Structure 1
Amino acid sequence: MTADGAAPALVVGLGCQRGCPAATLRALLDQALQAHRIELAAVKALASIDLKRDEPGLRELAAQLALPLLYFSSAELAGYRPRLSHQSQIAFERTGCYGVAESAALALAEQWIQAPAKLLIPRQKYAQATLALAGAA
């Protein structure tokens, strides 16, 4: 809880392979939140890399959850490299950043709360997708 009694704003960063269905992303989200005992209601927004702007699964998940979905460029995400729990050379070769889910979660959390953020759930990998959750440090 924050000082005003509100639940802290948490954001989810997502990375996925082309064509990853919303159901896969939702299963990963539900699994991660359940494992960390976090309510879905605490999640205020989703984030990914701008290369995924046209990815139907991400857009469908955001619509299902009625959450905003924001995108960041690889240049915006690259600066988070030192803070990642896992640095993927493959992700770098494909996107220009070393971890889409963690970087996007941190970038959006810091934009959202206007303060430093930390990873509350580090990179989780599942089938065709990755997820990370960030919030106030």
Structure 2
Amino acid sequence: MDAIWWWVIAAVVLIALALLLVPQMRKRNVESRRQQAAEVREEAQEHSQVVREREAHATQAEAAARQARAEAEQKLAEADKLETEGARRREPAVAARSEYEEKLQRADELDPDVDTDGDGRADRVESDRDDDVRDRGDVRRR
């Protein structure tokens, strides 16, 4: 046989080997990719538990925030109501205080033992009544 035939036979054998090995290599490559995909899915599954836990914690935190906001709004409404009530009660208290001051001033004007200046205010020695008035924080200073 001529050398050319040997080259042709060698080429045919190499082509046959290539045709046999290429599908096996593809099969091995496909299996390798399947294995990689399975590993990635397993990692994702493990990560999904962490994600669910974080979502649960976030949901709990949001619920706690909503509850705290509702409680704060309720307290604010209660504070507004109490402020309104305080203002409503303040008016008669101020009127009563004014009446009280006027009566004290009138009594000082009538009392011959109390020295009053020209505008009717008493210049007297401090008494128990002055201490009572001074002890109250909501009383105007005379």
User: What TM-score do the two structures reach when normalised by structure 2?
Assistant: 0.20
Q: Which has the higher contact order (CA 8 A, sep 6+)?
A: 1
TM-score (ref. length: structure 1): 0.20
**CA radius of gyration, larger in:** 2
Higher helix share: 2
